[in-house]
Structure 1
Amino acid sequence: MGISSEHPVSAEQIYSALVALGAEPVLDPDLWPSGPQAEDRLRLMGALLATVELEITAATGSGEDLFEAFAEPAMGWMEKVGVDSPLASLLLSNRMQRTAVQLMGTDEEEPPPVGQAAAMAAVVTSADLLSAHLQAAQGDEEGARRALDRAEGSVADVLAGMHALRVAIGDVEE
């Protein structure tokens, strides 16, 4: 399943949205004498996404009724995307993959802590299961099998990580 924007936004439009939110990145005039360029588009989208996620997190807080606090942003998301569409599954899978990459951390020499690695594997499992669902719905049995194989490997990583955490806190012996 492919996706394309009916009205693609430019790097300048995304930068303008960040300016409007007071979250524009500082663009070195020596590197960007003409402002944001087309090749900056995805990075600027990431900055805009982070800005919106930070705003939602600040607005929802960590109060007692988290379900109610998350319901409104989720409703807005579903109004834009749809509830049970293949597009919604594709977007959620994409978001989970980005989350897994963020959980990996940035230190390539030092692996992430066990709990963080297990959480990453859990997110990858979810993304692969959504992918398997989409592939199966489209009649791509081989694609569904590959996604399920990846998900099964990730489940093993989740279980190993959970066990390692239990060992670390003294619940079980190694």
Structure 2
Amino acid sequence: VNDQLQREVASLRVHLAERDRAIEQLAGDATNTDHIDVDELRRRHRLLGAAYRTDRRRVEQMTEQVAQLQSALGTQEQLQAAHAQLRAAHQQQGKRMQQLQEEAKKGARYKQAAKQQEVIIHKLEQLMASALKDVKRAKQQEPQLDALRAKLQEAQQRVEQEREAAQQAQQAQ
């Protein structure tokens, strides 16, 4: 679009330069009035006036067209700037989206780790409860165990006494 606008502006400038040369030539011919009659002078005057009006209208049109083209060029530049801003914003959003996705992945990993830890803690609690029950049972049976130990010790002492008595009896024989 920029190239097209610049070509049109250059074309209009060339056309204006050609018209300026043509008007100067007509003006030069119009000043050489020594050898022409009044009718020819009037005809040249009308032609020069018509050419002037035509050129003036064309200059106004071209000026208006140049203004429109410059406006379009300005609009094009604004659109390009807006597009660049939009692209930059899109890139920033993409980066932010990646960050959020990474954070979400981390959150999911932490959540999974917490669930695994909860399972492990639950199993440990069950093991601890079982161990505590075993300890309680053992404490409840401790008096019986102490009584059995005492009986065992008495039995061992009796066995020892009987052995000694048997040895003494053998030695006495």
Higher radius of gyration, 1 or 2: 2
- Larger RCO, structures 1/2 (Cα 8 Å, 6+ apart): 2
Same fold (TM over 0.5): no
